[in-house]
Amino acid sequence: SQKIEQNSEALNIQEGKTATLTCNYTNYSPAYLQWYRQDPGRGPVFLLLIRENEKEKRKERLKVTFDTTLKQSLFHITASQPADSATYLCALSDDGVYPNFGNEKLTFGTGTRLTIIP
């Protein structure tokens, strides 16, 4: 069966260190993978998208890697700050879905709750 797993439910990181979150998937052939941030009581907010033919993407202090051989994406936050504390969700789109405009049937992981400790 298809499955998306995020490495841990909760992760505590000291301020200033790099936080690394993992997203593993099985039985998918994703066209792309996305990362979202969700604060308590709020809707998810888009952070980054990486396509299957891209190895790495960066945005300010954020970096995402995508290894289709390992079926894994890593999400890094460098120089972490207490304001980075939130739940981070990975999501992917299976390119086996027709018609695939790129958005429909986006499947989400259960998320990792990241806490940056001052």
Partner 1 sequence: NAGVTQTPKFQVLKTGQSMTLQCAQDMNHEYMSWYRQDPGMGLRLIHYSVGAGITDQGEVPNGYNVSRSTTEDFPLRLLSAAPSQTSVYFCASSQLRSGELFFGEGSRLTVL
DSSP reduced 3-state for 115: strand
Please, which residues have CB within 8 angstroms of residue 98's CB and are 6 or more apart in sequence?
Answer: none
Please give the backbone phi and psi of residue 111, each rounded to the nearest 5 degrees, phi first: 95, 155
Of the two residues 4 and 13, which places its CB atom closer to partner 1 in the complex? 4
| Interface with partner 1 (CB under 8 A), residue from 7, 68, 107, 115 | 107
Of the two residues 62 and 106, which places its CB atom closer to partner 1 in the complex? 106
Tokens 């996305």 belong to 34
Number of chain positions touching partner 1 (CB under 8 A): 26
Beta pairing class for 106-108 and 86-94: antiparallel
Q: Does 11 bind partner 1 (CB under 8 A)?
A: no
Per-residue three-class SS string for 23-48: EEEECCCEEEEEEEEECCCCCCEEEE
Q: Does 96 bind partner 1 (CB under 8 A)?
A: no
CB 17 → partner 1: shortest distance, Å? 27
Which 52-91 positions form the footprint of partner 1 (CB under 8 A)? 89, 91
Q: Which residues of the chain form contacts with partner 1 (CB under 8 A)?
A: 4, 32, 34, 36, 41-46, 49, 89, 91, 93, 99, 101-111
